[in-house]
Structure 1
Amino acid sequence: MESHRDAFVEKFVTFRKLVTPNQLQQAKTLAAGDGAKSLLEVLQELGLVSDGDAATVVQLYQKSVADQNRITNARAAQRPPTAAPAPAASTPAAPEPVLVPAVPESDAPRIAGFGGLDDYLAYAREIAASDVHLAIGCPPLVRKYGRLAPLPRNALAAEESERLLFGILTDEQRERLGEQKALDFCYVAPDGSRYRACILRQRLGWDGAFRVVQSRVPGFAELGLPEQLQRLTEFNQGLVLVTGPNGCGKSTTMAALVELVNQTRDEHIITIEDPVEYHFVPVHSQINQRQVGAHTKSFSAALRAALREDPDVIMIGELRDRETVSLAITAAETGHLVFGTMHTTSAARTIDRILDVFPADEQPQVRSMISESIRGIVCQQLIPRRDGTGRAPALEIMMNTPAVANLIRERKLFQIPSIIQTSKQLGMQLLDNSLLELVNAGVIDGADAFYAADNKGPFLKWAPKIDGVSAEG
């Protein structure tokens, strides 16, 4: 049983991107050598998995086992004894997901000749990777289609990592990094390509992470977004939130929404970002982009200033704190269309997270304000495609209706999924329904959908087998 739990844990931490492949392999080696400790215990001891994440994976595992046992027992009890059936025509099994190597070994000689960080960044863009990671003691890593993979070269020493990272910094950035020990910025390479960058100090030296920013804002069709999301750009005022875990494409989806406004409406758009990722080219709208740290002190300071600049549309890179959330709601209430992102995984949790940043005595008033100002919530996850060509968006979409607004005012948020489930004709959908559609269409693998789903029940047939018994009985 322990080996099955370890397999479950491995899949969980990989899907949630809690560890790198090297870190996971180290933990598995230690767990195998100890014999008395589970993989999860080793991951916690190494500081790679928090107590909260550990509790989540244990809860999911126990629920998976209980659900599978319950379904198996129920089916066994209902199955009448019958004679041995005649052999049935075999049904062809679904093809296994295609595993495409992120980095071919044949590229090793070329990678060995890389001199500066720009070479690694250009290579990542060439192979359609989304991120580059430099970590001392590991080879440089790239993230492609949601999965980390090492480049075929030796591990980085502290001196090489520092040379690569500091080689792209200005004198001012080096000074700030020396003082603060961490630096977030937008790096523009000599060829004009852009990267969202983070450099930080850790125990062994300097590490860096770089997100590839596309040269233009992709459109809805290119991103695989449904047409009903376009409705969210047609309001004159209100709050639209795009949410999801790190690396799920929130910023890109929000940029696509803002670009649609730019393409179709005569508006004054102000964006507040950290850092600025996409450069919008004005089409029908006037656009001003401000970067936290470079053009303004904070999101809240920029948002407060924006309200005095006669904007029609405001895009906020992230609703991080109470003041920013409060100002965003006020802006939405006072005649502005506000787009923002949060790190939540469902519409109900998003509303709950907003309320939780306010003191209890203020929450009734905030509930009333949100119920009137919210226009829609899009919760997004990116799931690897079966054919190995990228990732597909799975979306939960909530549009505000009188029924939804009433549930928010009364804080009956647990009933919001039921409203979404029965409002498909209004453009709404639950994340789990989106996942099922992608699985049934052969776009994603059922096992990946199982780990991403809120309600595991409909996905148990794809869950890991426990002691050789599947949920199918």
Structure 2
Amino acid sequence: MTSETSTDLLDDVFRLLLDAGASDLHWSDGGSLHLRVNGFLELAEVPESVSRISFDELTTHLIGRDNFATFVERREYDGARTVLGGSRVRINVFFKRGRIAWAVRLLPSEFFPMESLGLDLDICARICELKQGLVLVTGATGSGKTTTLASLLHHINRHRREHIFTIEDPIEYVHESRECMVSQREVGVDTASFHEALRSVLREDPDIVLLGEMRDRISMDAALTLSETGHLTFATLHTSGAVDTISRIISAFDSMEQGQIRERLATNLKVVITQQLVPWTNREGRSLCAEIMVSTKAIRAMIRDGKERQMLSAIETSSDEGMTTMNKSLADLVKRRLITQKEAGLYSPDRDSLKRHFEVPQLMRSV
């Protein structure tokens, strides 16, 4: 089969993804093809043209012959590529029950303007004006963390004259240099490993650094060091809120180090955004819900003193600082009639607290 023919067949597959308005495609050798549309999986029909060739051959063209040989040896592959003349997808290829399977995520072809993210615009603007510090965007896989960070970096790229430096695995959004100079390094392509790239980043003269996911103690320490040395540093974590985020970072270090880490974190952490994408009741869309914690004198004291469990109360009472809780964000969707109260409860970190957003005050009941 020629490369041109294989490309045409891959295009038939990816066209399904785009035409359905899906975010993800799941397919395995001998299995059904599913698309995730607005958060829900739907069965899709495999194009007849594709069903005539082997899944191994199609996968080889998807990730490249050299990568396929490595994939067979390691049993895993992560990457990204451009398809259909401009759309970009993130690709994970793996084995399940001895057969090859794909998980493909469509990345938006354009950067989301900050106004359309669903986050407080003033907070986003304040983040983009920071000269130094650590900004964390957290949440589960598929919660839009990468999209949020790409939007913030895109805004900075258009309004500042500095050096944006990223370490990504893989590169998902491609940033062309605008007002900023942008250097994007992909693990496995531009650097041997994430940790090797971390060791050399300060020698590359960055102003703004995107580290991607902080996976371990080494990457967490690097993020703090970058922030301490005058860089604006962005990173992600798979955590469910600011309290969980602080606890996760502290617990990654030995007990003898934790006091120092608390001090470093209190000094350098600027914002924690925890987000999730919540499907509407009518399944016609999704909205971003977020908890936002901003570093204030009170928050910094809680981090230093090991009282992060008190943070949620501080977040609830600090809306004037731009903070908000996940429950407040969910309650707003209910009030806009995009989701039901029951559906909000499925995404709430604290259902009892959520219920209070819908209680009629005693004074109102007596009128």
Same-fold call, TM > 0.5? Answer: yes
Question: Is the contact between residue 270 and residue 313 of structure 1 (CA under 8 Å) also seen in structure 2?
Answer: yes
> What letter matches 1:210 in structure 2?
V
| TM-score, scaled to structure 1 | 0.70
**Range that drifts further, 238-247 or 194-203:** 194-203
- Indicate which of 181, 184, 194 corresponds to 2:88: 194
Matches within 5 A, 1:456-467: 456-459=351-354
Match of 1:290, SS state, is strand
Relative to structure 1, the CA distance from residue 202 to residue 302 in structure 2 (aligned partners, 3 Å threshold; closer, same or farther) is same
Matches within 5 A, 1:315-464: 315-459=210-354
Question: Is the contact between residue 118 and residue 289 of structure 2 (CA under 8 Å) also seen in structure 1?
Answer: no
Asked if 1:184 is matched to 2:74, the reply is: no
**Range that drifts further, 260-269 or 437-446:** 437-446
Q: Which residue of 2 aligns with 1:214?
A: 108
Q: Which runs of 4+ in 1 moved over 3 A?
A: 458-462
Match of 2:35, SS state, is strand
Q: Which residue of 2 aligns with 1:299?
A: 194
- Indicate which of 283, 287, 296 corresponds to 2:182: 287
Match of 1:168, SS state, is helix
- Partners in 2 of 1:206 and 1:115 — Cα distance? 21
- Partners in 2 of 1:461 and 1:386 — Cα distance? 22
Cα displacement (A) at 1:317: 1.5
Question: Is the contact between residue 217 and residue 280 of structure 1 (CA under 8 Å) also seen in structure 2?
Answer: no
**Range that drifts further, 324-333 or 297-306:** 297-306
**Range that drifts further, 380-389 or 139-148:** 380-389
Cα displacement (A) at 1:433: 0.8
Cα displacement (A) at 1:116: 2.6
Q: Which residue of 1 aligns with 2:28?
A: 135
Q: Which residue of 2 aligns with 1:248?
A: 143
> What letter matches 2:187 in structure 1?
V
Q: Greater CA radius of gyration, 1 or 2?
A: 1
Q: Which residue of 1 aligns with 2:19?
A: 126
> What letter matches 1:140 in structure 2?
L
Match of 1:307, SS state, is helix
> What letter matches 1:428 in structure 2?
M
Relative to structure 1, the CA distance from residue 302 to residue 425 in structure 2 (aligned partners, 3 Å threshold; closer, same or farther) is same
Query: 1:230-250 CA distances to partner (integer Å, 9 max, x unpaired)?
Result: 211111100000000010100
Question: Is the contact between residue 239 and residue 373 of structure 1 (CA under 8 Å) also seen in structure 2?
Answer: yes
Match of 1:372, SS state, is helix
Relative to structure 1, the CA distance from residue 316 to residue 135 in structure 2 (aligned partners, 3 Å threshold; closer, same or farther) is same
Question: Is the contact between residue 331 and residue 338 of structure 1 (CA under 8 Å) also seen in structure 2?
Answer: yes
Q: Which residue of 1 aligns with 2:37?
A: 144
Match of 2:189, SS state, is coil
Query: 1:128-177 CA distances to partner (integer Å, 9 max, x unpaired)?
Result: 111111134531111111111111459x99x8433332232322112211
- Partners in 1 of 2:179 and 2:198 — Cα distance? 23
> What letter matches 1:274 in structure 2?
D
- Partners in 2 of 1:461 and 1:338 — Cα distance? 36
Question: Is the contact between residue 136 and residue 204 of structure 1 (CA under 8 Å) also seen in structure 2?
Answer: no
Query: 1:226-272 CA distances to partner (integer Å, 9 max, x unpaired)?
Result: 21222111111000000000101000001111111111111100011
Cα displacement (A) at 1:461: 10
> What letter matches 1:289 in structure 2?
Q
Question: Is the contact between residue 216 and residue 279 of structure 1 (CA under 8 Å) also seen in structure 2?
Answer: no
| TM-score, scaled to structure 2 | 0.90
Answer 1 or 2: which has greater strand percent: 2
Question: Is the contact between residue 269 and residue 287 of structure 1 (CA under 8 Å) also seen in structure 2?
Answer: yes
**Range that drifts further, 392-401 or 215-224:** 215-224
Cα displacement (A) at 1:193: 2.1
Q: Which residue of 1 aligns with 2:361?
A: none
- How many pairs were matched up? 348
Cα displacement (A) at 1:458: 4.7
Query: 1:180-215 CA distances to partner (integer Å, 9 max, x unpaired)?
Result: 111111122252321110111222310111110122
> What letter matches 2:136 in structure 1?
L
Match of 2:345, SS state, is helix
Identity %: 35
Cα displacement (A) at 1:285: 0.6
Relative to structure 1, the CA distance from residue 160 to residue 307 in structure 2 (aligned partners, 3 Å threshold; closer, same or farther) is same
Q: Which residue of 1 aligns with 2:98?
A: 204
**Range that drifts further, 186-195 or 362-371:** 186-195
Relative to structure 1, the CA distance from residue 460 to residue 422 in structure 2 (aligned partners, 3 Å threshold; closer, same or farther) is closer
> What letter matches 1:265 in structure 2?
R
Cα displacement (A) at 1:445: 2.7
Query: 1:251-306 CA distances to partner (integer Å, 9 max, x unpaired)?
Result: 00011111111111111000111110111122211100111111112222212211
- Partners in 1 of 2:117 and 2:54 — Cα distance? 37
Cα displacement (A) at 1:322: 1.1
Cα displacement (A) at 1:115: 7.4
Q: Which residue of 2 aligns with 1:29?
A: none
Question: Is the contact between residue 162 and residue 205 of structure 1 (CA under 8 Å) also seen in structure 2?
Answer: no
- Partners in 1 of 2:315 and 2:260 — Cα distance? 24
Query: 1:76-111 CA distances to partner (integer Å, 9 max, x unpaired)?
Result: xxxxxxxxxxxxxxxxxxxxxxxxxxxxxxxxxxxx
- Note the aligned Cα RMSD (angstroms): 2.2
- Partners in 2 of 1:262 and 1:293 — Cα distance? 25
